[in-house]
Amino acid sequence: MLDALSDRFNAAFRGLSGRGRISESNVREAMQEVRTALLEADVHLDVVKKFCAEVIEDAIGQEVIESLKPGQQMIEIVNRRLIELMGPVDSHLMLIDPGPTVFMMCGLQGSGKTTSCGKLAALLKKRGKRVLVVAADLQRPAAVEQLRITAEGVEADAPGSGEVAFHGEPERCAEYGKAVGAAVGVCRRGIERGRSEKFDAVILDTAGRLHVDDELMKELEAINRLLTPHQILLVVDAMTGQDAVNSAKAFHDRLAIDGVILTKFDSDTRGGAALSVKQVTGAPIKFIGIGEKFDALEEFHPERIAGRILGMGDVVSLVEKAQDEVDEAEAEEISSEDLVTSIFDAVPVP
């Protein structure tokens, strides 16, 4: 995962070794390599332009700390900007009291949306919450059955003092495309059940498509408008790169999503979605899926992903330590100057 991107970044930084100063020419040369690496990783072009411009602005003319090499200092600058690009950390799930809190899950078909519904339910169950998952994907009868099996698996196998239950109306699948608002009705009845049976959370597994289309968006907009879910979470396949970013923007433009779950992050992802989706949508990446098991959902920490991309966490720590030492030295120098000034001020003028 992210190996190709990491290799290209490190090659760019090696070109700065032996320099006594970070100059504009060698910074621009290094960032041209970084730019190519990001584009090959399927990072959104606008994101690449903005990122490279900010790094160049930070680095040009910056003096190299005596104990460091230019390449090491450049790594720290890029690391900081990568974290800003993907961050901040925001894995908070707002739960209202009294419940239920309604989570609307959306995403393209094949993104891992239904599996993510199960993982989110398992996470809440571990926290002692009672969760109702609602099968609102009426386009495919198999989707209703898949969510039922998932919910039963979470309830049986996932640890925690909470509870996970299933609400589905497979007979409504026959109404899909004929009865306007069939999915809205399933969601409404699921939320009403969640309220009457005092569940803490209701997770709506909405319909997906192979690509974004107006029919899908109108259905999702109707659910959002009529039922006002508390949080809308978009599930994005991390392996699809630029396509994932484009679909994420389309969902956000129509639904104003609150957060993103990146799935299949343990696969051979190039990193484009992780580096682009926050900047394109403005919505934080809350979780990443790292496997098929119910507990394979992790909080998203941008500093960890930046560390994997750069592959030089020890170098970043070295730079931070060196900068702290420089700051302390400057502080001591200022203190010494203040002491000398105060001594001279105390001497009477003849």
Dump pLDDT digits (tens) for 178-213: 666 899 999 999 999 999 999 999 999 999 877 788
Does the predicted TM-score (pTM) go above 0.75?
A: yes
Both 227 and 258 in one domain: the answer is yes
Residue 344, in any domain of the structure: no
Cα-Cα end-to-end distance for the chain: 75
Total count of domains within the chain? 2
Residue pair 231/94 in contact by the 8 Å Cβ criterion: yes
Residue 339, in any domain of the structure: no
Both 253 and 112 in one domain: the answer is yes
Residue 95, in any domain of the structure: no
Residue 177, in any domain of the structure: yes
Both 234 and 134 in one domain: the answer is yes
Q: What is the predicted pLDDT for the residue at 188?
A: 97
Amino acid identity at 182: A
Please report, for the domain that includes residue 274, its CATH number.
3.40.50.300
Both 152 and 264 in one domain: the answer is yes
Please report, for the domain that includes residue 27, its CATH number.
1.20.120.140
Both 196 and 256 in one domain: the answer is yes
Q: What is the predicted pLDDT for the residue at 10?
A: 80
Both 194 and 323 in one domain: the answer is no
Q: What is the predicted pLDDT for the residue at 213?
A: 82
Amino acid identity at 104: M
Q: What is the predicted pLDDT for the residue at 74?
A: 81
Both 205 and 292 in one domain: the answer is yes
Q: Give 310's DSSP letter.
A: H
Both 255 and 114 in one domain: the answer is yes
Residue pair 42/242 in contact by the 8 Å Cβ criterion: yes
Both 182 and 235 in one domain: the answer is yes
Both 267 and 325 in one domain: the answer is no
Q: What is the predicted pLDDT for the residue at 110?
A: 86
Residue of 287, 285, 261 whose CA lies nearest to 275: 285
Residue pair 26/15 in contact by the 8 Å Cβ criterion: yes
Both 165 and 271 in one domain: the answer is yes
Both 199 and 325 in one domain: the answer is no
Stretches in the chain below the pLDDT threshold 50: 67, 314-319, 326, 329-331, 334, 336, 339-344, 346-350
Q: What is the predicted pLDDT for the residue at 178?
A: 63
- Host domain of residue 33: 3-89+306-330
Residue 349, in any domain of the structure: no
Token pair recorded at residue 136:
């609102």
Q: What is the predicted pLDDT for the residue at 316?
A: 46
Cβ count near 99 (within 10 Å): 19
Residue pair 140/172 in contact by the 8 Å Cβ criterion: no
Residue 228, in any domain of the structure: yes
Q: What is the predicted pLDDT for the residue at 214?
A: 85
Q: Which residue has the tokens 């070794």?
A: 17
Which H or E element spans position 249? helix 242-255
